Structure 1
Amino acid sequence: MTTQAMPETEPPCALLAALSGDGPLGQVGEGLRALVAVWFGGADAAASAEFRSDAAAEPPAGNVGGTDTTTADTMTDDQLVAAVRSIARLERSIESLKLQCTSAIARRSTGDSRHEGLAGRHGYPTPERFIAATTGASTADAHKLVAVAAATTMPESFGTTPRGPRYAHVAAAIAAGSLSVQVAHLITGFLDSVRFTTDPEGLERTEQVLLDRAEAVSVDGLHRYFKLLRAQLDRNGVQAREEELHAQRSLRIWEDHRGLIHLRGCFDPASAAPIKLAVETLVSADLHAARDAKSRFAARAAEAALRSDVAVRPAAAGAVDRALVDHRTIEQMAADALADIARLAAAASDAPPALASASVVVRIDHDDLMNAIGFATIDDFGQPISAATARAIAAASGVIPMVCASDGEVLDLGRRRRLFTKAQRIALAERDGGCAHPDCARPVAHTQAHHIRWWDAHDGPSDLANGVLLCAFHHWAIHHDGWQILNRDGRLWFVPPAHLDPEQRPRPGRRATRLELRAA
């Protein structure tokens, strides 16, 4: 039995030379050497080996800082960061090679028939479809590759005079491995959009400015910069683009199958500015109130310790009153802020006549209202609301409660006499100074007058002793979370439900707290 001799394999001298040279694989070799240096030698070794053409392709002697079993989990923080940067550079170098191949495929796929050319012979109508199928990328990514390749690798010509690529500076950045295809696609796309309205010198300056800017900002930052740059390059077109955005504004409100009310809209900058300002200002106030609650609680604990001659425990300085913690997300705060803005607009003395005469009608059965069990409905909405919510929103101006008997007969409509008068609201504002709930920062303008003892179910009178100012959020909490309010000699105390504080210790209202601290 004879054994056929296997041919000897030549050492990969050509590959090593290509990875160490100045050709298309040279940048890949530099990126690969930097990654190897990080993986086996740590971040310091990577810094010394990166960009050196004489660096060995094998790991440093002794595997200093790493081993052949090194993983991302075993790296130090500095080593891990250096590895990610090296991988990103290697990816950009490979993308540069991919662009060169993409350019060649696109050029060889041209023809009079869809079956001609490289892509057609492989059964694909376009080079983008062929590249997407070959590389496993999406068609959108393939379109980006072809577009960037056309702008940076395919030479252009005017008449019989050949020229270099359309955007030479972008091409050089890609070849140097400092620019990704994604960012290159954004920059070349913007340059194409202003190419025929900008002189060649101005276009080249803009190209260089964008490359410099890309190093300092993210992709989102580039989009913002594009808008400013377009206005600078085409000042006469600013108004036309503004009118186009204004014409596309829209707002849609609808109720889904769960009963959630959705708002979806888009606005031009001038229309959106007051909306964004109002919502963000209210959210910011809520966030500041939550942040300041911690320091206020510590101050109260210290004051209580001084009065009782009891040392403050170390934990008290960093503690908060858990019964008063605002658990809303930023998005929930924004939703509440928008609802507050609408309520304020409807209640404003200078509201437009159409808005001032409009009312929200809440329909509820008399027994449900008296027992606080059951449901109510709001006109134009299909989702029922609880009797507790009906009680809460009925205190707001512009809301008309319609109380019906079991057979649907209207027993009472409106009953405006139950509402607090303007003079009473002024007096409540002087006493409470805004929302009276502990640690709330909402001002008087953002509050509603609430009956401590419900006007209908508890025969609560509309007088100052039975009134309190609450913001919409804490008004809702009073009705749904089980908070109780006590008025003792003109001072308000808020008693949390047992699930928030098993001891149900009363908390002083915001205004009363300020007066007490001031007196102390």
Structure 2
Amino acid sequence: MALGEPSASQPLLLDQYERLHALLDEISETASTDCSDTDLLKVAMEHERAERRMLTSFAAHIIDIDERSAYRKAGSQTVTNFVTSVLNRSGEATRLLNRVWAIGKFPDMQGEALEPRFPETAKGVAQGEISGRNVDVIVEVMKKVPAAADPADREAAEATLAHYARDYDPSSLRELGGRILAHLDPDGTLTDDRDRARMRGMRLGPQDAQLMSKLTADLDPKTRAMLDVVLAVWAAPGMNNPDDPESPVGDPGSADPDALAAAAERDNRSTAKRNHDAFSALLRYALDDGALGRSHHGLPPHVIVTITESALRNRAGAPARTATGALLPIKDVVELAAESQQYLEVFRDHTSEVLYLGRAKRLASRAQRIAAVGRDGGCTCPRCTRSSFDSELHHVAEWTADDGPTDIDNMTTACGPHNRAVGPGDDQWATTIATDGVDAGRVVWHPPTSHPDQTPKVNHANRTDEVLNRMRADARRRRSSGHGQDEASGPTDTGADPP
């Protein structure tokens, strides 16, 4: 076969990528000993340039996948889900798709390719002179350009950012972007409600090793004004102080003035800590006062905590898990259970509520939903980490078509998109119950017949303790038999393959 000709079994583009991988194998096996210092630096620079250029091809492929809805062949519901799950880019899908949005050539109504939204940026990426991280900064800065800005000014801003992006790192480029924005609207007269509505948001970060979480927000003026009033009252010195058992808690209007004054004298918290404690007290007030309604996806809108019986009895052990996926130290679990009317689910204890409804009802009872929180821990579809609180109950054997009973052992937790992804079609998933092995009783997800990987999977993402214990057991067996760490092996299936 001549170089560049496609094989009989696949198109030219796949042949080209196979040759690319073969070339990468050659590069990885080639030593750099014959390179001078200068040549070695050039190798690193050419490697970086090649990696940057690949973003242009990636954008073109993603746009084509989206236009054809080809992601459905992999069992995905959207192109975002395809990037997140099949390409395993869950932590950066939004950022990647923003890059595609910025530099990709999208078709118009007639199918003709339009110029990229940020043409100078796209040109720099295609030449390997602008990195993906700098594209992120350009998108970030351009989104802050006032909607009322002159179109020519917007184009000039993008071109200027692309110019600087060739030479500056992301941090420096962000600073330069701030200067460009200041030049576009020096008096702040162009910024209006459209810009403020576009930039508003609140982001709750993941828990760190200390189980702490970072909350960041961009508040519009009205929300800021209301928050100022709330914090002035609820975060007042002496109010809602968890370190002071005599501190008034809850609604400040019902606090005894003398007790509040005395608590204020003892209060040595910083403003940041008082704001945090006020926010915590507000959340507890909203939960206990019924402000969140009676149901969310069939679960009560309260803190639902899953914990083992021994951990509760000994007040020690691994952190407990809530229905929203958050982790709580055992001490906090005990305090929650003692102070409020939250739901505390203890494994291996029995309940008098009926968990087996057979064919009597299609919809699961509240008791079944709470039981599923403890058993599943969240959506059971492979690669999904959505919490139980943000999921539904799915009949493993379909209720209407196959007479699947509404029993807890025929139901599993599935988020909305994955619940709807199950069905008899070629592009849909199937579910069964594992009958043996370490996953006996858990739900097995079978990929669509059109999926390139037909391996059935069990999601272990919500059972990190089980995986960790299995890894520990493997390590102990290796050590007891005299083998070193180089022969380490993980669990049989970590559920890491994409849906």
Q: Select the structure of larger CA radius of gyration.
A: 1
**TM-score, normalising length: structure 2:** 0.32
Which structure has more RCO (C-alpha within 8 Å, separation ≥ 6)?
2
- Structure having the larger proportion of residues in helix: 1
